[in-house]
Chains A and B, each alone.
Chain A
């Protein structure tokens, strides 16, 4: 029957979705934004309108694209990346667009996990303008995410020269924390944060998140907690931070706090996944869990139908932790590992391999961890022993 099942479920086809017609005109049918139009959204709307009138105005186009990329990050919504691409329309398909457009194109491609194309753009941009801080920073990030630490180190050097102190230090510390120098990374970050107390909020957010995540990998939970809190205080809605803190809480067996933290963020797939993981261990939440697992199943099916590849990590985790399907999780985790190699990716692959009893993969991940001297208690044999 296997073949046939594939056939009918082409498109993860949930048959025909139920449709309805509200009876009351006052009924709210969609929450388009978390709240009313903010001043920055109003501004963006005006800018987009004037760009539509004057689409070849490069400074206006890059301004709009930049704002949209920031919005995509704030809302964790790829729609705005597509809109940013449209803003860069006249330059998007050029082989070598102006540097500003090139760097933004790289950023959009990187966000869609098209890392190879992003690096090509960044190298082209740096060939024209070797002092482009944003290009170096993005290049550093892409190499780090891909686990290419030698290349990341080379991209980090210019940051020390071109960037401000906290940015450069955080980049260097990030790299150190992943390559066997976690304690030095902590010292660097603590010193820089203490000295740059007036640094802009996003820079401090990055530094504090790095610090908290490194402390967590070292098993120093109370200190990690303190820095997560310090990061959350000025940025309570940052999706990346919320995800990282939720992961920390889940590891600390504090699911009730995760449920409270993420209840209003279910629209974001990654945060919905963590919310469901928390509810899976909270007996009172079993009915909510059921509908959330169904919702996540539908969203991952949709991503697959579309041909998206940005969800592999979350989908593997969903299969491993919520569906109890280690074989499917392992296949996804392996595919994800071909694209990105952050500690979370290593952990996922390792756990999936362990639960699917795939010894060679398990050994390969542990060998990778040893080679890079990645310090992470979640990748220790002791952590694995607690898996079901």
Chain B
């Protein structure tokens, strides 16, 4: 029993200890596919390689570059022996082209840069990973597949398209390249579009200002409720369609870099457009007539046709969307997918709002609350907010909390 005693205590402390651990054994494998060529970079901890291969020739605890260099062939053979790559079912022959080093996971890693060539452009890249699992089941292979535009061998930074944690329980993975690329970025851009319309309140506010009076019509005495839902729906559709068509046009023009406007001008004008829409709701109908035919102002004609305003200002909002889209760091040449995805996202977000707004507004349209309360007060609120934004954006200052 005596010899066991220190051990007992040794074991006992472990519970508290694991939390102070070193980084566990990890290797990072980055794969990049361009047509039929697969390039990769594999970073493997030198401590783990030493445990497997005995790299420290003189066992002094210090590994020199000379000691490591002498064993480069062994390192490459050992690593590649524990990795199988298949391109659409065809096993690939992997050649290590370069040995380098990196600092990662609290230690130095051997960096293996390798290449493999398939007989045809790769669609599915399958990976069977076995490194160190027979020596340390806690080892994990962190695999990322980047798209071909950023090759690791050039040290370029390409975000991973796909990542996977490989363990003894799950040691293989297949990356579906062509399909994944289009699908993932498409859904991603749709989500970004929805995200943008929901978080960039200015577009929604503009729409709201134009839609508030859609369930009403005005005569010389003021606002009156629309009689039929169909009529109200028709007006809403006019406004939304005009806005959509207009911003789609300019979004495409800007995304393909055919037209460029300074973002300060675009953002200020967007703020101004909201203010103008709000003012339109507050305009006293006696100040203007509803038809140009009677020889009165253009303004009167405009107020009776909010879709014209939606279209005109929609053109400017499109440039605003383009600004948001350009922040998404796109690769030129594959612009169509993001553009369509992002735009669809914007429309979906917009329609969701309209679907909530319209029935509610229609139900309330006859009430004094809506005509005398909600419409003017909401319009004044929108006007104040938009005015604030306009000053902020035009003068490049910040005083509003949102």
Interface residues of A (CB under 8 A from B): 1-4, 7-8, 10-11, 13, 15-22, 24-37, 66, 69-70, 72-73, 75-79, 81-83, 85-86, 107, 110-113, 133-134, 137-138, 141-142, 145, 163-164, 167, 200-203, 205-206, 239-240, 243, 267-271, 295, 298-299, 302-303, 305-308, 310-314, 342
Contacts and interface: CB of A to CB of B under 8 A. Distances in A.
B9 A29 contact: no
Contacts of B6: 200-203
A224 B10 CA distance: 22
B94 to A, nearest CB: 18
Nearest to B164: A11
A26 B65 contact: yes
B22 A78 contact: yes
Given A72-B14, A267-B107, A86 B134 contact: yes
B17 A311 contact: no
A204 to B, nearest CB: 9
Contacts of A145: 15-16
Contact of A30 (B18, B46, B138): B46
A200 B9 contact: yes
B106 A27 contact: no
A269 B61 contact: no
Interface in B371-389: none
A21 B98 CA distance: 10
B137 A82 contact: yes
Nearest to A307: B165
B138 A202 contact: no
Contact of A35 (B28, B61, B144): B61
A268 B21 contact: yes
Nearest to B24: A78
Given A29-B64, A79-B136, A243-B20, A3 B14 contact: no
B290 interface: no
A240 B13 CA distance: 8
Nearest to A67: B7
- List of 10 A-B pairs having minimum Cβ-Cβ separation, nearest first: A270-B20, A25-B66, A82-B136, A82-B138, A15-B157, A33-B61, A202-B9, A19-B100, A8-B159, A22-B65
Contacts of B111: 19
Contact of B160 (A10, A18, A200): A10
Nearest to B108: A30
B188 A269 contact: no
Of B9, B63, B195, most buried by chain A (CB within 10 Å of CB) is B9
B63 A73 contact: no
A239 B20 contact: yes
A203 B10 contact: no
A299 B46 contact: no
Interface string B73-108: 000000000000000000000000001111111111
Contacts of B396: none
A70 B108 CA distance: 24
B224 interface: no
B59 interface: yes
Contacts of A29: 46, 63-65, 68, 101, 108
Contacts, number: 254
B350 interface: no
Contact of B69 (A16, A25, A113, A311): A25
A70 B7 contact: yes
B327 interface: yes
Nearest to B144: A11
A32 B195 contact: no
B13 A271 contact: no
A27 B67 CA distance: 10
B19 interface: yes
Nearest to B43: A17
B348 to A, nearest CB: 15
Given A268-B21, A299-B105, A138 B138 contact: no
B104 A239 contact: no
B17 A73 contact: yes
B20 A268 contact: yes
Nearest to A75: B22
Interface in B36-57: 41, 43, 46-48, 50-51, 56
Contacts of A31: 61-63
A76 B10 CA distance: 12
B142 A16 contact: no
A32 B10 CA distance: 23
A163 B9 CA distance: 11
A205 B10 CA distance: 10
Interface centre among A1, A7, A17, A110 (most CB of B within 10 A): A17
A206 B21 contact: no
B8 A167 contact: yes
Contacts of A22: 65, 101
Given A21-B100, A203-B5, 12 more contacts: A3-B192, A4-B188, A17-B104, A19-B111, A69-B10, A73-B17, A78-B24, A110-B15, A138-B11, A268-B22, A298-B104, A305-B142
B106 A267 contact: yes
Contact of B61 (A21, A32, A240, A342): A32
Contacts of B23: 269, 299, 302-303
Contact of B102 (A18, A66, A83): A18
Interface in B174-230: 188, 191-192, 195
Contacts of A307: 140, 165
Nearest to A34: B61
Given A17-B104, A29-B108, A205 B56 contact: no
A30 B60 CA distance: 11
Contacts of A30: 46-47, 50, 62-63, 107-108
Contact of B62 (A28, A66, A78): A28
A73 B16 CA distance: 10
A125 to B, nearest CB: 13
Residue of B101, B107, B155 with most partner-chain A CB within 10 A: B101
